[in-house]
Amino acid sequence: PVPSARHRGSLGEPRALFALPSARGPPPAPRWPVECEVIKETIEHIEWVPPELEPFYQPTGHEWPSATLGEEQGTVVYHLSPGSREPAAPPGAPSASLSPHHRPSGLPPAVPPGSCFTRARVGGAPGPLSSPAVPLEGPQDTTLLFESRFESGNLQKAVKVGPYEYVLTLRPDLYTTKHTQWFYFRIQNTRRDPLYRFTIANLAKPKSLYGEGMRPLLYSQQDAQSRGVGWRRVGADVRYYRGGGEEPATFRLSWTVRFPHDGDTCFFAHSYPYTYSDLQRYLGALAGDPVCSRYCAVRELCRSLAGNTIYLLTITSPAGAAAKRVVVLSARVHPGESGGSWAMRGFLDFLLSAHPDAQLLRRLFTFKVVPMLNPDGVVVGNSRCSLAGRDPNRAYGTALRSSFPGVWHLRAMVERVLAEREVVLYCDFHGHSRKNNVFMYGCDGGRAGTEPRLRQRIFPLMLSKNAPDKFSFPSCKFKVQKSKAGTGRVVMWHMGVSNSYTMEVAFGGSTLGGRSSHFNVEDLKSLGYHLCDTLLDFCDPHPAKFQQCLLEVDALLRQRLHREPDSGWSDISPSELES
């Protein structure tokens, strides 16, 4: 139900700052499920942009894992057992002793069967930490030391199968046995000279950009401290392939790498991490900026299941707020899609700046922004789910307030806004693991007349013109499928938001404009700026750009219909489905 205006207040007015990380002192510590162990060290990384673009790996045709990948013959050197305070097997035990039902690349359940989230606390599991890593036997022991019990970390097990070769198992999303994709873990006791091989043995998706030249990210603490160098793409012999014959099928990612230093602390990650604490530090800096505070208010949209604050930013210049149209943006409903947070960061950096276009946007619109819809999933290192053990981006249509508070409150907020004024754009930021470049999914439900179908495509076409080396208009899709009925994009469209989109940002990079290279954080942040630029083009009172794009879209549609009369220009194949 829509609350009365008496209780609601003006939707455009920045609210009083509350539940906001203070500019003074550290942000509130994240709350974890009580079964998660958490190390005490704070993990932070410097932000760095490589001086040159990082090309995709070019397969040589000789990539093949060596014959020593039999996990049963190896030694467990790291093993977490989520859901239980006791380690499943002592580190150093032979891999085959882990379980009488052990399969080489099997998928151990994340938590005991039937378990679900019960409660959370700051710091996770109480009491002393267990020791999931095998102790070193002395300075000559070259065994790597693994760790993932930190914010957004994900690694469940490491098995040493050769002097410098390891088979790794990821932890499924908590309270599920599925969704293994995101990884982020620490390695210590490195050696500079040997060639190491790592194989992640239990990935879920049959197809991945790792099969098209994407490479994992490495961070060296020594390089960060001595040379100011941060995350970079590494790896040769990169291969993505199906594992053994077990069902359900699992897939493997294998790569080789040389570490830059002896005795270094390094990290590997699937994508540039952006944690809940990173967001809180950013919001704390906003709170300490007296200029930003005049037109940006941060409040608590709601609390997550674990009790972490889900933040809502209202950004607008104070004058004439009541009459303004509204733009709604969200990110990180899928926690493993961290590129969405970097794009959101770029959007906020620009919109909150003194740039004349940013000032114009704040005068024209009221922005409602939820930068991290699923903080619990981000904290625990999930790929897709919240602590409800389900995908929140399928719950917008039926969301229970108690199970999916972020989704429920975002939808309720948009309903309240729509009761008073137009929402000109809704955009939810995601990551895509199987297609390169940036593209959008829109909504084309065959509403009467051709014009609405054309108009759906204008914003993405404009964005492709503003970011021609990153955004692919031909990759955009507009069909509303039954399986997507519960997504934010489709539900907001049914509620009356005509321009409702999912923006998909590849985990890999760009194949456009002569590029064949990975996205870096500057690329990702630039998407936020381009979104702002496109919004001004889209809403320009002089209709020349809009009319030009309308003609182009019409011509493209006619071409396609001529080639494929039955397509309706909204087909989408199952292999291209994602967020």
Is the pLDDT score of 228 beyond 90? yes
DSSP state at residue 471: B
- 442 & 297 share domain: yes
Residues 6+ apart with CB under 8 A from 169: 105, 107, 108, 155, 156, 157, 158, 159, 200, 201, 202
Full domain range(s) for residue 143: 31-59+72-80+129-270
* 97 pLDDT more than 50: no
207 and 285: one domain?
A: no
For residue 106, what pLDDT is reported? 37
- 124 lies in a domain? no
Helical H runs in 367-500?
A: 375-380, 405-418, 450-456, 458-466, 488-495
Same-domain pairing of 407 and 452? yes
Instruction: For residue 448, give the CATH number of its domain.
Output: 3.40.630.10
351 and 223 share one domain: no
C-alpha 439, offset from chain centre: 15
Per-residue confidence band for 516, with pLDDT thresholds at 50, 70 and 90: very high
Same-domain pairing of 365 and 235: no
What is the pLDDT at residue 558? 83
Q: Beta partners for 331?
A: 429
Strand 251-257 to 325-331 pairing: unpaired
| Selected residue with higher pLDDT from 351 and 245 | 351
Which has more pLDDT, 195 or 2?
Answer: 195
Place of tokens 């087909």: 571
Out of 153-157, 488-492, 541-545, the most confident range is: 153-157
Please give the residue that has the higher pLDDT: either 573 or 6: 573
Q: For residues 542 and 268, what is the distance between their CA atoms, to the nearest angstrom?
A: 49
Percent of residues, the chain, with pLDDT higher than 70:
84
- Cβ atoms of 191 and 94 closer than 8 Å: no
**Residue 8 domain-assigned (yes or no):** no
What's the pTM?
A: 0.90
**Active-site residue set:** 504
Q: Are 293 and 394 part of one and the same domain?
A: yes
3-state secondary structure of 231: coil
What's the average model confidence in pLDDT over 515-542?
Answer: 96
Residue 575 resides in a domain = no
Same domain, yes or no: 147 and 260: yes
In a domain, 394, yes or no: yes
422-473 pLDDT per residue, tens? 999 999 999 999 999 999 999 986 655 567 778 899 999 999 999 999 999 9
Domains of the chain: total: 2
Q: Is residue 88 part of a domain?
A: no
pLDDT tens digits for 19-47? 466 666 777 899 999 999 999 999 999 99
More confident: 480 or 67: 480
Same domain, 152 and 280: no
203 and 179 together in one domain: yes
**Confidence band for 52, pLDDT divided at 50, 70 and 90:** very high
More confident residue, 9 or 137: 137
- The rounded mean pLDDT for the chain is 86
**Domain of 255: which CATH number?**
2.60.40.3120
Residue bearing the bigger pLDDT, 562 or 476: 476
Q: Are residues 244 and 282 in the same domain?
A: no
- Most distant CA pair in the chain: distance in Å? 75
- Whether residue 324 sits in one domain with residue 225: no
pLDDT at 293 > cutoff 80: yes
Q: Residue 78 in contact with residue 133, Cβ under 8 Å?
A: yes
Shared-domain flag, residues 50 and 195? yes
